[in-house]
Amino acid sequence: MRTHLAVAVAALAAAATLLTACGSSGTAAQSSQTSAGDGSSEGSGGTTKVTVGVMPIVDTAPIYLGVQEGIFAEHGLDLDLQTSSQGAAALVPGVVSGQLDFGFGNVAALITAHSQGLALPLVASASSSTGVDGNDTSGIIVAGASDISGPADLDGARVAVNTMNSIGDATVRETVDNAGGDGSSVTFAEIAFPDMLPSIESGQVEAAWVVEPFLTIALDQGARLLASNYVATTPDLLIASYFTSTGLMESEPEVVERFSAAMEESQAFAQENEDMTRDVLGTYMTIDPAIAEKLVLPRFNAKVTRSELEFLIDFAERQGLISNPVEVSSLLPKA
């Protein structure tokens, strides 16, 4: 118990093969279709079991901390955390199909999904930029000896990102544009975060977009920070959130409300207890304690705001992530 109280429709077919990795039986959504009772999957002590798709990255620390500190148990929830390294591309199909009750994903990708007709309401904040240039949870890196001196020098360059048409490549282009370069001239290669530094050193790419803890690891190994791309996009950039399906919101509104309340409390607890947040990283991801101690944590805001989403929708339109309009009310039904 506590010690203190991008995804377009076309992408879904490709991601469907990952469903077995992130799906499970007994979710609240599935039980609402099969149970003759109140529609929820009851665990021991009358708690409701919910399945949440997450990524094993720094941004998901609050949900693990919330489980560890008994926050979710206090809200009557028993969390089954299913991990995927592919983010929204893998987790959206799981939520849509009902194999997952909730999922974690970057908001730019979720806005893209909404523009393609997938209603995935955001139910809790996850992470935001620190807003501090040179000390953020994300950055564009180059080799220490690279002659690239600023973002504008990335014109025509090849940059590594973990996923195309998402927050990585879009904020890299925005950063280049804002520095006076031509973001549209940048090309991208999909490379897993652990492989990005070797790809720079081998000359496969000129630069890479990385997030923590890979940013700190790369800088420790001689890479150079070229730009804090989130901060260059906007100091108050909402990075990721938790989402669900409209089906679960309609069939199990109380479960959604309890999850949202528990996440809000977990976010606040993580923000207020930095040492505990760093300590919990080693419980769900392989990380050197020395790296966990020095990496830059994102801001763990308690709520998603309308202004953050309005900016991201405009940003997604500007960077060509969406062609169909997206209404804030469809992302935040209670806004």
Per-residue pLDDT averaged across 132-151, rounded?
A: 97
Q: What is the pLDDT, as a whole number, of residue 87?
A: 65
| β partners of residue 122 | 243
> Model confidence over 213-230: pLDDT tens digits?
999 999 999 999 999 999
Per-residue pLDDT averaged across 114-124, rounded?
A: 92
Q: How far is CA 127 from CA 43, 209, 237, 240, in A?
A: 29, 17, 9, 5
Confidence grade of residue 335 (pLDDT, cut at 50, 70, 90): low
Confidence grade of residue 5 (pLDDT, cut at 50, 70, 90): very low
Adjacency order of strands within the sheet including 187-190: 187-190, 158-161, 207-211, 138-142, 224-227
* 126, pLDDT greater than 70: yes
Residue pointed to by tokens 């504008």:
152
Confidence grade of residue 149 (pLDDT, cut at 50, 70, 90): very high
- Determine the residue type at 94: G
Q: What is the pLDDT, as a whole number, of residue 33?
A: 39
Q: What is the pLDDT, as a whole number, of residue 123?
A: 96
Measured in whole angstroms, how far is the alpha carbon of residue 50 from the centre of its chain? 19
Taking the model in full, what pTM does it have? Answer: 0.84
Per-residue pLDDT averaged across 39-58, rounded?
A: 77
Q: What is the pLDDT, as a whole number, of residue 90?
A: 75
Q: What percent of the chain has pLDDT over 90?
A: 72
Q: What is the pLDDT, as a whole number, of residue 199?
A: 97
Per-residue pLDDT averaged across 26-43, rounded?
A: 45
* Average predicted confidence (pLDDT) for the chain: 87
Structural contact between residues 112 and 321, judged by C-beta atoms closer than 8 angstroms: yes
* 197, pLDDT greater than 90: yes
Tell me the domains of the chain and their CATH numbers.
9-129+237-331 (3.40.190.10), 138-233 (3.40.190.10)
Three-class DSSP labels, 177-193: HHCCCCHHHCEEEECCH
Q: What is the pLDDT, as a whole number, of residue 13?
A: 33
Q: What is the pLDDT, as a whole number, of residue 115?
A: 92
Of 66 and 8, which is predicted with more confidence?
Answer: 66
> Model confidence over 199-209: pLDDT tens digits?
999 999 999 99
* 4, pLDDT greater than 50: no
Q: What is the pLDDT, as a whole number, of residue 323?
A: 85
Q: What is the pLDDT, as a whole number, of residue 119?
A: 87
User: On the CB side of 101, how many CA atoms lie within 13 Å of its CA?
Assistant: 33
- Element holding 97 (H helix, E strand): helix 88-97
Nearest one of 241, 206, 242 to 226, comparing CA atoms: 206
Lowest mean pLDDT among 25-34, 36-45, 297-306, 326-335: 36-45
* 295, pLDDT greater than 80: yes
260's CB contacts (< 8 A; 6+ apart) are 123, 124
* 254, pLDDT greater than 60: yes
